[in-house]
Structure 1
Amino acid sequence: RKARFPSGLVLARWWLSLLLARTDMLWRAAIVRRSTFVRRLTSLSPHLWSKIGQIDLQKTTSVDLCGKGLRATEMDAIALELSENTQLQRLDLTANGFGGDGAPAVSQIVRSCPTLEVLALGNNNLRAGVVTLAEALATHERLRVLHIQANVVGPSSVKTLATAIASAPGLEDLDLSSNAFGPVGGVAIAEALASSASASSLERLDLTACAVGMRGAVAIAQALSGEGVAHRLRSIEMTTNFIGPDGLSAFATMLMGNTTLEELSLSDNAIGELGDRDTGTCGQALAAALEMNQSLRVLDLTFNNLSAAATQALVAASARRAVPLELKF
């Protein structure tokens, strides 16, 4: 007698039941994982879930928590979650105001997330809390972008931060704007720029409204023109720093030997407030530098009350350049 095999219909029913069972098992597993995630977050902080929304902090590559009103204790909970994330690349904590008490949590995040590339910490009132961050930042190999604007960072704190920046091997974009750390901080930043590590990687620096003054501006300009250091800096913002004519002259000297800088903003720096004689002299020096320098593409000198002689000299020098230059007065 011939062996009897199941018909095609029976086999189809068997495969369908197997597929449905497998699908049901996967669905139940997903529900369990989701419910576990919800319980984990809600147990860490009663209000955290409602603030951050449905974000699995242990899985995502980009976390945007800008303006969520996070407190320092909630930052501890977030740091605990992110410490399990092995693929985090971007973290935005701008405008939360968790203060210096939240700095240890941010430091923990930096240490536990070696894949982190972009960190935004602006407007958080960190103050001396940046000192806590410094060591973690110095040893992080993949961090490319660091924004710490408007955090009331003082002179002593920025000195520690600058030392860490000097050791950061891959930092490309640094925003320290709106931290009035003054000339002492400006000199500290200059020393960091003169180091081989930061010089070889940093491409953008924003020091808008940091009150570095003439002393800080001269130190920074000298650091960017120092011999033996191969700089990659392409853009520097020095708006509203009260650098005066002497500061402008220092940047003019720097431009004569610099071959990488493409954008320079010296807007609102009281360059023309000492009279036509001083402004005209430094304007002539800057004009000579512009003819020699062929890398600069944008120069912002707005709100400086420049003398007519200085303006004319700069326009004439710009016209004689082989590379076009956008001059802003």
Structure 2
Amino acid sequence: MEPTGDRRPVCNELNLTANGHDDNLLVETEARIRGMTVDCTTIDFRCCRLDDEAMELLCQALVNNKSITTLDLRSNQIGETGAQHLARGLHESTIHKLLLGHNRLGDKGLKHLAGFLASSITLEVLDLSDNDIGEIGMRLLPSLSYKGHCAALDLTGNHIGVAGIRFLGDSGISRSLRILALGNNSIGDDGIISIGSFLWRSELWLLDVQSNGITGKGAFEFTRCLTGNRSLLRLSLKHNCIQDEGAREITRAIEHRQTPLYIDIIESASTEQTVVEDQPEHNEVTNEQAYSRLQNESNKENMEKLRRALLGGSPLTGVFDRRDFPWS
């Protein structure tokens, strides 16, 4: 706890991870968040089995709260009604980072949050992974672009499909994003090609499309769109169907790109030797020459360049120090 002169003390983080759903604990937490004791900047309620009823009590404390900048509610049981309570609690908040991964929001829950997402001018990091969001929910994404500057969006593990990708491209959010996670969404070749059609006008630094059934053909068509793009520094294609010839085609597509691009194509493979020895099944790139050439084009100096770009107090700082994303 830090002294703040004449003001109330500031508790940087209230961490109640894995404490379970306890009404007495929630009542006490509500009182603390309301400012009766301290101001908190980070609230961590991961893995607490919070359901819609618990969210009603918790979110009463969030109304008009201006001190909380990070709210972590990952891995709970928050559904449509809980999302409605959350939207009311966050109505006039100054949240920078909202982490809702591994809940039960669905398209209807996201609809309740659309008003907050449209009005927030502070939200920079949004985690909606594993929330059963589909094409209908993706139609709501344009609301993020009205006033906000959302820089990192995680939609991993939903079922947005090709149609959802197209809605994403039509929304203005694609222009403000720096990090976009779309792994395990069944977008296939058509989806990755659709991303390429709007990537030229974006300033993405990192794109994750792992586990999407993308073949070498789709990856080649996508990387061919990157010729005029100078912002993308890292592309994750792990757990797809690229194969050796696909790796060679990707290399040909980016060899004249002005900015080097680091591509993750094989799970846990850091050298060509491990690729040959392990013979990974996910992308089936087992040819040492194909992988080595791709890695030569994928200049690892980009990692340092990206770290430098993330310095300066951004919520995205340390993105690669904690695997791929700031909420990992």
Smaller-chain TM-score range? 0.7 to 0.9
CA distance in 1, matches of 2:223, 2:22: 54
Matches within 5 A, 1:260-299: 260-272=231-243, 280=245, 282-299=246-263
Judged with a 3 Å threshold, the aligned counterparts in structure 2 of structure 1 residues 102 and 155 are, in CA distance, closer, same or farther, namely same
The answer to whether the 8 A contact 1:124-1:150 is kept is yes
Q: Provide, for residues 41-100 of structure 1, a one-character-per-residue CA deviation record: whole Å limited to 9, x for no partner.
A: xxxxx9433257656112322111111111212212222111031221111111111211
The match for 1:212 among 176, 187, 203 is 187
Helix, strand or coil at the partner of 2:67? coil
Of 76, 101, 107, the match for 2:56: 76
Question: What does 1:1-329 align with in structure 2 at a 5 Å threshold?
Answer: 47-51=22-26, 54=29, 56-58=32-34, 59-113=39-93, 115-128=94-107, 129-160=109-140, 162-167=141-146, 169-192=148-171, 195=172, 198-199=174-175, 201-225=176-200, 229=201, 231-272=202-243, 280=245, 282-302=246-266, 303-306=282-285, 308=287, 312-313=289-290, 315-316=292-293, 318-319=295-296, 324=301
TM-score by length of 2: 0.72
Does the C-alpha gap of structure 1 residues 301 and 151 become closer, same or farther in structure 2, counting only changes over 3 Å? Answer: same
Q: Give me the TM-score of the superposition, normalised by structure 1.
A: 0.72
Structure 1 contact 153–180 (Cα < 8 Å) conserved: yes
Partner of 1:10: none
SS of match in other structure, 1:132? helix
**Higher Cα radius of gyration:** 1
RMSD: 2.6
Q: Cα distance 1:60–1:287, how it changes in 2: closer, same or farther (>3 A)? A: same
In 1, distance between residues paired with 2:215 and 2:125? 30
Q: Which runs of 4+ in 1 moved over 6 A?
A: 320-323
Higher helix share: 1
Q: CA deviation at 1:167?
A: 3.1
1: CA distance between counterparts of 2:180 and 2:168? 10
Counterparts of 2:64 and 2:110 in 1: how far apart (Å)?
Answer: 23
Offset of residue 168 of structure 1: 5.0
* Per-residue deviation, 1:325: 7.1
- Could you tell me which amino acid in structure 2 is paired with residue 312 of structure 1? Q
**Unmatched tracts of structure 2, length 5 or more:** 1-7, 9-20, 267-281, 304-328
Following TM superposition, by how much is the alpha carbon of 1:318 offset from its aligned partner in structure 2, in angstroms? 4.8
- Contact preservation (8 Å) 2:73, 2:99: yes
Seen in structure 2, the aligned counterparts of structure 1 residues 315 and 167 have a Cα distance that, compared at 3 Å, is: farther
